[in-house]
């Protein structure tokens, strides 16, 4: 028996082949999050990945980011179910945040922070979403959000709007022209912008006043959203998941803000657990 487990996010799409007892193979592809690449490319990319195996599976479970809109979710799911039905008799597609929660508990609160971010809660019947809503206006404290803030402060330093020019040393841009060329080519590329979150976190690690201020500001808002959702689902625990939490600096700021609000932060178990639960394995 073989099952296909897929975690389609904004940074990458991770694919696991499960033999009924363990993961026997895993692969990494380009991102397929609906809000990052659009519904058309998301459907095309996922169907292409699955068809490349050229076989029928016992089941396929997909954790898909960016399907917060009910209309969008219905549209994308219907297209995928139709395309994937020939590759498995059982295909389950679920919001990535709900899959993360299922990896840890039947109900409660979770956060995901990677290229984008979300605070999600489920009380057993009702789903609650805070933050999120895409890189253009939302995704507080995500990789994109922090990368954008780093580049924004960098531009201010180059243009003489800040007496504190401490962030320039943490960038690979030597001149404003270098920064300008990058921005013109990548201003609508969330993944490229998100890469500069690493620069900001490195600056915070070195006690840069600016970097610490930026992190404190976004974490204050992010933790307030967690507090709202935790209250709604009657929990004082939040499970966290995503690439940003691979940074000890990020986790430290995140945990400290939540401790102030009486909320315990716990690293999420592998998303594979939630994908298996979707297939009732």
Q: Give the model's pLDDT for residue 152.
A: 96
Confidence label for 11 from pLDDT (cuts 50, 70 and 90):
confident
Asked, colleague to colleague, whether 3-105+269-278 and 130-267 share their fold, the answer is yes
CATH pick for 130-267 out of 3.20.20.70, 3.40.50.720, 3.30.56.10, 3.30.420.40: 3.30.420.40
Quick one: 25 exposed, middle or buried, by C-beta within 10 A (0-12, 13-18, 19+)? exposed
Percent of the chain past pLDDT 90, that is, above it, reads 89
Contacts 24+ apart (CB under 8 A), 227-233: 227/258, 227/261, 227/263, 228/119, 228/130, 229/109, 229/119, 229/120, 229/121, 229/128, 229/130, 230/109, 230/121, 230/263, 232/121, 232/123, 232/128, 233/107, 233/108, 233/109, 233/121, 233/122, 233/123, 233/128
| pTM of this prediction exceeds 0.75 | yes
DSSP letter for each residue of 1-27? --EEEEEE-SS-EEEEEE-SSSEEEEE
* CA-to-CA dists, residue 147 to 8, 214, 238, 266, angstroms: 22, 11, 24, 25
**Residues 3 and 18: beta-carbon distance below 8 Å:** yes
Q: Which two structure tokens, joined as six digits, stand for 242?
A: 């995503």
Strand pairing report for 237-241 and 108-113: parallel
SS (H, E, C) 231-249: HHCCCCEEEEECHHHHCHH
Q: How far apart are CA 198 and CA 207, in angstroms?
A: 14
What is the fold, at CATH topology level, of the domain defined by 3-105+269-278? Nucleotidyltransferase; domain 5 (3.30.420)
DSSP letter for each residue of 39-58? HHHHHHHHHHHHHTT-S-BS
Q: Give the model's pLDDT for residue 241.
A: 95
188 has a pLDDT exceeding 90: no
Q: What is the pLDDT of residues 38-73, one digit of tens each?
A: 999 999 999 999 999 999 999 999 999 989 888 999
Q: Give the model's pLDDT for residue 271.
A: 95
Q: CB-hemisphere CA count at 13 Å for 155?
A: 10
Q: Which two structure tokens, joined as six digits, stand for 141?
A: 């404290």
Nearest to 221 by CA among 189, 248, 257: 257
Give 72's contacts (C-beta < 8 A, 6+ positions apart): 34, 39, 66
Q: Give the model's pLDDT for residue 77.
A: 95
Q: How far apart are CA 5 and CA 262, in angstroms?
A: 35
Q: Give the model's pLDDT for residue 159.
A: 95
**Residues 206 and 72: beta-carbon distance below 8 Å:** no
Average pLDDT, the chain: 95
Average pLDDT over residues 273-280: 95
Confidence label for 248 from pLDDT (cuts 50, 70 and 90):
very high
Strand pairing report for 23-29 and 59-64: unpaired
Bridge partners for 240 per DSSP: 111, 267
The length of the chain in residues reads 281
CA torsion sign for 205, 208, 210, 212 is positive
Residue boundaries of the structural domains of the chain: 3-105+269-278, 130-267
Average pLDDT over residues 243-264: 97
């Amino acid at each position: 028996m073989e099952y296909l487990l897929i975690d389609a996010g904004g940074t990458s799409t991770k694919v696991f082949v499960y033999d009924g007892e363990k993961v026997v193979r895993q692969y990494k592809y380009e991102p397929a999050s609906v809000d990052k690449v659009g519904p058309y490319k998301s459907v095309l990319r996922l169907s292409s990945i699955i068809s490349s195996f050229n076989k029928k599976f016992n089941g396929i479970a997909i954790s898909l980011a960016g399907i917060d809109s009910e209309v969008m979710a219905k549209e994308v799911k219907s297209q995928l179910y139709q395309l994937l039905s020939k590759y498995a008799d059982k295909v389950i597609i679920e919001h990535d945040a709900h899959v993360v929660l299922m990896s840890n508990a039947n109900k409660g609160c979770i956060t995901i922070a990677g290229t984008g971010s979300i605070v999600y809660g489920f009380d057993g019947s009702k789903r609650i979403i805070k933050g999120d809503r895409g890189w253009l206006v939302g995704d507080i404290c995500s990789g994109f959000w922090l990368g954008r803030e780093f580049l924004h402060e960098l531009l201010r330093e180059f243009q003489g709007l800040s007496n504190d020019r401490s962030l320039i040393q943490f960038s690979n841009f030597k001149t404003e022209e270098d920064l300008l060329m990058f921005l013109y080519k990548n201003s609508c590329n969330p993944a490229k912008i998100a890469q500069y979150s690493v620069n900001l976190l490195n600056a915070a690690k070195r006690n840069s006043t600016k970097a610490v201020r930026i992190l404190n500001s976004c974490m204050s808002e992010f933790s307030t959203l967690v507090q709202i959702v935790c209250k709604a689902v009657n929990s004082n625990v939040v499970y966290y998941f995503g690439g940003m939490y691979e940074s000890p600096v990020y986790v430290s700021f995140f945990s400290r803000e939540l401790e102030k609000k009486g909320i315990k932060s716990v690293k999420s178990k592998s998303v594979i657990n939630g994908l298996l639960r979707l297939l009732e394995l």
